[in-house]
């Protein structure tokens, strides 16, 4: 029996982590996050990638997500353009310090978007290269990415297009951000008509010197995706709607 002031800690995938991409300090940080009440248990992986692995975790019965950024395989040169020119973060010389800033950047960007009332994961804590946030999904099952859903299952693509355009507009106007990687790969569908947007580390402030080209790329991705449904949009008109 566990006393109330004690917290049971459990790292199910610990061997996999130790034998794979994460160092001892990452494991130490995970245990600190458990002891301080951000998660009770780290479960299996949800997704793996070149820059981060994403795990399902729990705090009591509440499912959460733990995103652990890779230190050794992260590309300094890919991260740098998104940190340079952002007064909120410092460009650091060591790779692990840059990855910590990258994790902090995603946390801060999610805070801004969530505070603005946008459909994004709620961020709870960032420590070193670890980010804890809410799970987008149902009953502990992560919501699918939009790119995995066959087009014929989206019954009302016009509404989805309207919702996602509204997201970009509110992200720009209320949160002061541009996503910079807005695509069907970074949109989770809580239901077939309820999109949430994820992956905010690369997001830039709207007054960043590179904001315009990244916004243009986001709009082009939007137009490309909805062309599958034979929906046509004018690029300049969309940009005016978002910025205006």
pLDDT single digits (tens) 204-220: 999 999 999 999 999 99
Q: Which long-range contacts (CB under 8 A, 24 or more apart) does 194-199 make?
A: 194/119, 195/119, 195/146, 195/160, 195/163, 195/164, 195/167, 196/119, 196/120, 196/121, 196/136, 196/143, 197/113, 197/118, 197/119, 197/120, 197/167, 197/171, 198/120, 198/121, 198/136, 199/106
Enumerate residues 6+ apart whose C-beta is below 8 A from 235.
216, 219, 220, 223
Active-site hit among 199, 207, 218, 234: 199
pLDDT, position 3: 35
Q: How sure is the predictor about 95, in pLDDT bands with cuts at 50, 70 and 90?
A: confident
Q: Indicate if the pLDDT at residue 45 is higher than 50.
A: yes
Convert the pLDDT of each residue in 124-154 to its tens digit.
999 999 999 999 999 889 999 999 999 999 9
Evaluate if residue 234 carries a pLDDT over 80: yes
Contacts 24+ apart (CB under 8 A), 236-240: 238/165, 239/215
pTM for the full predicted model: 0.89
- The residues pairing with 56 across neighbouring beta strands, listed in sequence order, are 65
The pLDDT of residue 4: 35
Domains and CATH numbers, the chain: 10-138 (3.30.200.20), 141-243 (1.10.510.10)
pLDDT, position 11? 59
Is 181 catalytic? The answer is yes
What whole-number percentage of the chain has pLDDT above 90?
A: 71
Per-residue model confidence as pLDDT tens digits over 11-30: 554 444 443 456 889 999 99
pLDDT of residue 76: 65
Which of 23, 53, 86, 181 is flagged as catalytic? 181
Mean per-residue pLDDT for 85-105? Answer: 83
pLDDT at 22 (0 to 100) = 67
Q: Is 163 a catalytic residue?
A: no
């Amino acid at each position: 029996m566990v006393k109330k002031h004690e917290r049971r800690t459990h790292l199910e995938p610990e061997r996999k982590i130790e034998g794979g991409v994460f160092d001892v300090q990452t494991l130490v940080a995970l245990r600190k996050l458990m002891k301080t009440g951000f998660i009770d248990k780290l479960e299996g992986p949800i997704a793996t990638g070149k820059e981060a692995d994403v795990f399902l975790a729990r705090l009591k019965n509440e499912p959460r997500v733990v995103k652990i950024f890779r230190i050794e395989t992260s590309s300094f040169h890919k991260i740098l353009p998104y940190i340079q020119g952002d007064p909120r973060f410092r460009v650091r010389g060591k790779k692990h310090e840059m990855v910590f800033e990258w994790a902090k950047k995603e946390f801060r960007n999610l805070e801004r978007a969530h505070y603005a009332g946008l459909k994004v994961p709620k961020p709870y804590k960032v420590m070193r290269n670890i980010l804890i946030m809410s799970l987008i999904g149902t009953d502990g099952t992560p919501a699918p990415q939009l790119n995995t859903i066959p087009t014929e299952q989206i019954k009302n693509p016009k509404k989805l297009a309207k919702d996602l355009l509204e997201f970009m507009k509110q992200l720009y106007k209320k949160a002061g951000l541009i996503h910079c990687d807005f695509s069907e790969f970074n949109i989770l569908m809580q239901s077939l008509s309820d999109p949430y947007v994820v992956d905010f580390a690369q997001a830039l402030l709207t007054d960043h010197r590179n904001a315009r080209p990244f916004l243009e790329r986001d709009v082009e991705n939007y137009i490309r995706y909805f062309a599958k449904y034979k929906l046509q949009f004018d690029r300049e008109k969309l940009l005016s709607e978002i910025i205006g």
